[in-house]
A and B are shown apart, each in its own frame.
Chain A
Amino acid sequence: MHVEVRGLNKKFGEFHAVKNVDFSIAKGQLIGLLGPSGGGKTSILRMLAGLETPDSGDILFHGKRVNDLPPQERGIGFVFQNYALFKHMTVEGNIAFGLEVKKWPKSRIKERVAELVELTGLSGFEKRYPHQLSGGQRQRVAFARALAPEPQLLLLDEPFAAIDAKIRQELRSWLREMIDRLGITSIFVTHDQDEAIEVADEIMIISKGNLEQKGTPWEIYKNPQTPFVASFIGESTIVEDVSSLRGFEDARAWPGTKGLIRPEYVEIGKPEEFQILSATETGRVKHLQFRGSEWLVELEVGSTRLVTYRSLEKEVLHPGDEIQVLVHRAYLFNDNDSWIMENKLKEDRMYVEI
């Protein structure tokens, strides 16, 4: 289903939960609504479902305005954060509910339930009650139940929040696969950026009721359009005075501009590890933290504190070591504008070499 939203607004009393949000979603896409808790993501989802009425703005499904349609008539499936399974019904009963309500013939209900039980890997659990299932199984029942009446749009509210980390990983790829197979347009809400980046075709970053940016995970990472997006996605350090870093002296032309530097923008090593040594400067290792698959290195360049990663294959560093630091790029922003600045010395040198 093609979904379009125009100028959507929602207030709860004095609190402006959703501010003038516009977006459109192509058929068959999996969209992640990502942002901090209380940012308005769930309100947007609930308005799409018809569980909440917008104060202003239009919601269009297939180009038709659905604002005045109740949830019963929107042709959606909704997976709730805590699943909201019917406690007094078995797995089968839960999945069949939407079909019985829609007065499907008995034989087709049976077929459809069997199909979904198979699809969600719940065979053998049909007669169980929700309290007899694990968190992951409940999640799959909720998913099967929402899909049963063949909705055109699937909405998922923090679908993995209540599941422990290890199974969450499994379920994520399972969900991705399932949605790919069914080709159903889906929107899910999450506050976990890894989840959004891993699962979604496109991410919409929502903060304080505003849609900050919409794009593929790679676009958003590479080209953040607002300081909020830049700092929310990935890890980063804010540097007050970027012009003090070697290669970024030009930043002095914009007073009041700060820099955001990601760990992966920074390269460190012994002098012999660099090809363009002139673009590096000397720093000092402050602190090392073992991250399981790499080192997280905190270092000081002049008075600036930076963070970067270092491969476990490379020579082990120690706090206090002197080291060469190359900052590849910085994301600069001030009150009006934001842009990405590459290390000038590095670019110059590459130009000369060609």
Chain B
Amino acid sequence: MSSKFQNRWWGWGFRSAVMLYFIILIVLPILGIYGQSLSAGWQAFADNITEPLAWKSVQLTVIMALIATVINIAIGTMAGWVLIRYRFPGRSLLNSMVDLPFALPTAVAGLMILLLLGPQSPVGHWAEQLGFSILFHRPAIVIAMVFVTFPFVIRAVQPLLEELDPAEEEAAYTMGASKRKTFFRVIFPNMLPGIVSGAMLAFSRALAEFGAVVLVAGNIPGRTLIASVYIFGEIESDNAAGAAAVSVILLTLSFLILWLVNHLQSRRKTA
């Protein structure tokens, strides 16, 4: 960079612009939500939260997101492993398709699930025959969440696996460790930080999902209505305080997770 940009007036200007941007775009709206939810006092906030439908929607969201995260941990770890360690035709195509859920509008994802799992589709028909339905029931919520958060664990595990020195595995072999032992004692501990931080990001993203879920969940209050859809409903029916209260809970959860991820990553860097 030229010395002009290192000039302290320039530096001051850049820093202020970035700060201002952050404040206007992120900090102020967040403070606004906290302010809005607490504007009628703590009692009103507590009432809004403990309103049975609101509380149920939050509970449902957390449970569904947890299930989706567990599924993503299992599948994501395996997919990351296969995409790095195996060489097969179509590997690079698959690898680039991992990011598709990020690029796709979530409403499109919802529509895809709708068409794929609807009662007219083979899968929906088959499930119906077995005596349960996916669409407009809880399984559909989990499927939508899994689809949307699919890339997180894979993308967090891949660089760690790539970084792993193959000689570490060979060293384990020469010391008498079987392939299985080598995986669990040498490779897996190296993947773990990626799995954990990927899972946390996936969980926090699953909590927030709206577009894909709203199309497939059926949104029956108290049964398949998740928090973000509840917020949408409250706004529609002009209850901003109710919407803000649930938002605050989601927001606080997201903050906690983000902080945890950062904490884990900084520990990894110093370690």
Contact = CB atoms under 8 A, between A and B. Distances in A.
A229 to B, nearest CB: 30
Interface stretch (A72-80, A168-176, A272-280, A317-325): A72-80
A308 B271 CA distance: 53
Interface stretch (B120-128, B185-193, B203-211): B185-193
Contacts of A40: none
B172 interface: yes
B47 interface: no
A130 to B, nearest CB: 11
A101 B174 contact: no
Contacts of A291: none
Interface string B178-217: 1001000110011000000000000000000000000000
Instruction: Identify the interface centre among A72, A85, A148: most chain B CB within 10 Å of its CB.
Output: A72
A82 B173 contact: no
A74 B176 CA distance: 9
Contact of A97 (B167, B177, B178): B177
Interface in A34-64: 49-51
B73 to A, nearest CB: 19
A82 B167 contact: yes
B170 A84 contact: yes
Contacts of A88: 189-190
Interface residues of B, number: 18
Interface in A96-127: 97-98, 101-102
Contacts of A86: 168, 171-172, 186
Nearest to B171: A84
Interface in A203-217: none
Overall SS of chain A's interface: loop
A269 interface: no
A72 B186 CA distance: 15
A146 interface: yes
A314 interface: no
Given A86-B186, A88-B189, A88-B190, A101 B170 contact: no
A86 B190 CA distance: 9
Interface string A135-171: 0000000000110110000000000000000000000
Contacts of B170: 51, 71, 78, 80, 84
B25 interface: no
B175 A101 contact: yes
Contacts of B190: 87-88
A131 B189 CA distance: 16
B176 A149 contact: yes
Nearest to B188: A88
B165 interface: yes
A51 B174 contact: yes
A87 B175 CA distance: 16
A148 B176 CA distance: 11
Contacts, number: 67
Given A88-B189, A97-B185, A72 B168 contact: no
B176 A84 contact: no
A145 B173 contact: no
A234 interface: no
A65 to B, nearest CB: 19
A129 interface: yes
Contacts of B178: 72
A107 B63 CA distance: 46
B186 A71 contact: no
Contacts of B185: 97, 101
Contacts of A129: 271
A271 interface: no
Given A84-B165, A86-B186, A145 B271 contact: no
Nearest to B177: A101
B147 to A, nearest CB: 33
Given A88-B189, A101-B172, 12 more contacts: A51-B170, A71-B173, A72-B176, A77-B174, A80-B171, A81-B167, A87-B190, A88-B190, A98-B175, A101-B181, A129-B271, A146-B175
- 10 closest Cβ pairs, A-B complex: A98-B175, A84-B167, A78-B174, A71-B173, A80-B167, A101-B177, A84-B171, A88-B189, A84-B168, A72-B176
30 contacts: A49-B174, A50-B173, A51-B170, A51-B173, A70-B173, A71-B170, A71-B174, A72-B173, A74-B174, A76-B174, A77-B174, A77-B175, A78-B174, A80-B170, A81-B167, A84-B170, A85-B171, A86-B171, A86-B186, A87-B168, A88-B189, A97-B172, A97-B175, A97-B185, A98-B176, A101-B181, A102-B176, A131-B271, A145-B171, A148-B175
